[in-house]
A = this chain, B = another copy of it.
Amino acid sequence: MIDGAMQPFALTLDKFLDHASRWRPTSQVVTAREDGQVARIGYADLAARSRRVSAVLAGLGVQGGARVATLAWNTQAHMEAWYAIMGMGAVCHTLNPRLTADHLSGMVTRSGARLLIVAGDLVALARQIADRVPQDLQLIVIDGAAEAGTAALEPMIADAADGFAWGGFDETAPCGLCFTSGTTGAPKGVTYTHRSSYLHTLRVLQADVMAISGADVVLAVVPMFHANAWGLPFAAPAVGAKLVLPGRNADGASLARLIQSEGVTVGVGVPTVWLGLLEHLEAEGGETPSLKRIIVGGAPMPPALMARLEARLGVIVQTSWGMTELSPSGTVAAPHDPRSPAQSGRPAIGVDLMVADAEGRPLPEQRNTEGHLHVRGAAVVERYFGETAPATNPDGWFATGDLARIDEAGNLVITGRAKDLIKSGGEWINPAEIEAVVGALPEVSLAAVIGRTDAKWGERPILLVELREPDSVSDDALLAPLKGKVASWWIPDEVVRLEAMPLAATGKIDKLRLRAEYGAAAGGGAT
């Protein structure tokens, strides 16, 4: 008996741009340039240019499986490079320009990339990387002219052949490589596959997740140099949505201008960029009537900021949770669900969550109990780049390092980072709970609690704050709201006022740096 069959259809990422090219050929990718103007291109033209970039790369000897590094902002040229690299079966190794040359060269050494596609204004950093890696690293400049020792991509595109054939490889082939931000440990490489990123895209497109439609205009503030810009360069062409790329400038004024001129309906980025937008609009005036939704993630959402955004902009704020290791989206609060800044939504099909004890054993009660968050799914890391041991336990769960509880309705509430926990007198203090209380004060922009080495207790918590206005509030007033909300011995021993909270390259508070500067027993650092 012959069973019959459905058509073969490899889940490879080139299909997204091809689909947009055929069905939404004139829907645009818009890039903000440094001169305040924008560049526009339709998906059909972008796909054609991107295939020419593949031809250029093939001419330079790039083969399937080879890593090609990129060091660039959110721009059309970067997107063309992504699809050129991935479409031909090579691996796009994105580099974060806000990391140091030492860090980046370590990553490039490990990836073995021999080509680095670099934005014109990042060539100096690229040269430093090239100087530090053992392999020959050829620099190809996009968004700018070639300098000595580099080659400009644009003239090569002009000379390249049309219609380079994409796909034809197995859908489990790697397409991308991204190292974790390293805010809580040494960076690890996460290898994305065509299949995993394709399935991730179909997940975020659901009405209960990012719900992006062809009628949307999506502003991707989340960087393409880290964790796939939350998958937006895949999701937007998959449905033919107009995609707005802000280039390197994510300040409030730049974002407001783009939202207004391009009619942005959905903005996606870490909370701080929306704070910048809000402060700009409050200071300068102006409205953003086209904006319907803001999707935030990558850091806890301050409740006051969420309330101000919804009130001032008239938008729905969708909180989310993800990690580099998750491609990166884990959960997104559905647009129509009751919203809370502490909640990050329910997992959609393709993601499963579990809370465990410190040894990874599932807690007997999975609801309303804090535990170590584990995740499983089609777009979750199984094994880090260059490693032989799995990143998962024998049951296939990946330990996220986050502490969390899951409420009765299945919503994820991140309660802290396991590595941020402070051990004081043999007991654990969760800094995230303290930060949530202090961070909710109207005078506070950002708050962080770290452990300081203490001769008697092992560690004691100290509070670091960045205030909206200096000296607007006393130390006592900062700590007073904690009474009754956390145990008295959790209350920080000291308040340190910072002019600017150190942020990691992904916009998260850099606790490694805070601990290095303020974690020693002597105290330290200027206030």
Chain A residues packing against B (C-beta within 8 Å): 1-9, 11, 15-16, 19, 22-24, 65, 91, 112, 174, 177, 189-193, 195-196, 199, 202-203, 205-208, 211-215, 238-239, 327, 334, 336-337, 346-350, 352, 376-388, 392, 396, 398, 410
Contacts and interface: CB of A to CB of B under 8 A. Distances in A.
11 contacts: A2-B383, A2-B388, A4-B174, A4-B384, A5-B383, A6-B191, A6-B195, A6-B196, A207-B207, A207-B212, A208-B214
A378 B24 contact: no
Contacts of A383: 2, 4-5
Contacts of A380: 6-7
A215 to B, nearest CB: 5
A6 B387 contact: no
> Among the interface residues A2, A215, A336, A349, which one has the most CB atoms of the partner chain B within 10 A?
A349
Contact of A336 (B213, B385, B392): B213
A4 B206 contact: no
A9 B350 contact: yes
A7 B381 contact: yes
Given A202-B203, A207-B213, 4 more contacts: A4-B385, A16-B349, A23-B346, A205-B208
Contacts of A238: 349
Contacts of A196: 6-7
Nearest to A335: B213
A9 B191 contact: no
How many of these chains are in the complex? 2
A336 B215 contact: yes
A508 to B, nearest CB: 23
Contacts of A193: 5-6
A347 B23 contact: yes
A363 to B, nearest CB: 14
A240 B7 CA distance: 29
A226 to B, nearest CB: 17
A28 to B, nearest CB: 15
Contacts of A4: 174, 177, 189-191, 381-387
> Among the interface residues A327, A352, A392, which one has the most CB atoms of the partner chain B within 10 A?
A352
A330 to B, nearest CB: 13
Nearest to A177: B4
Given A3-B191, A381-B6, A410 B24 contact: yes
> Among the interface residues A199, A208, A386, which one has the most CB atoms of the partner chain B within 10 A?
A208
A176 to B, nearest CB: 10
Nearest to A189: B4
Contacts of A384: 4
A378 B347 contact: no
B346 A214 contact: yes
Contacts of A24: 410
Nearest to A196: B6
A8 B382 CA distance: 8
A212 B348 CA distance: 13
A190 B7 CA distance: 12
B6 A385 contact: no
A334 B239 CA distance: 11
A7 B398 contact: yes
Contacts of A382: 4-8
Contact of A7 (B91, B239, B347, B392): B392
> Among the interface residues A9, A112, A239, A337, which one has the most CB atoms of the partner chain B within 10 A?
A9
Contact of A9 (B174, B211, B378): B378
Contacts of A19: 349, 352
Contacts of A336: 213, 215
Contacts of A396: 7-8
B334 A213 contact: yes
Given A4-B387, A214-B346, A387-B2, A206 B207 contact: yes
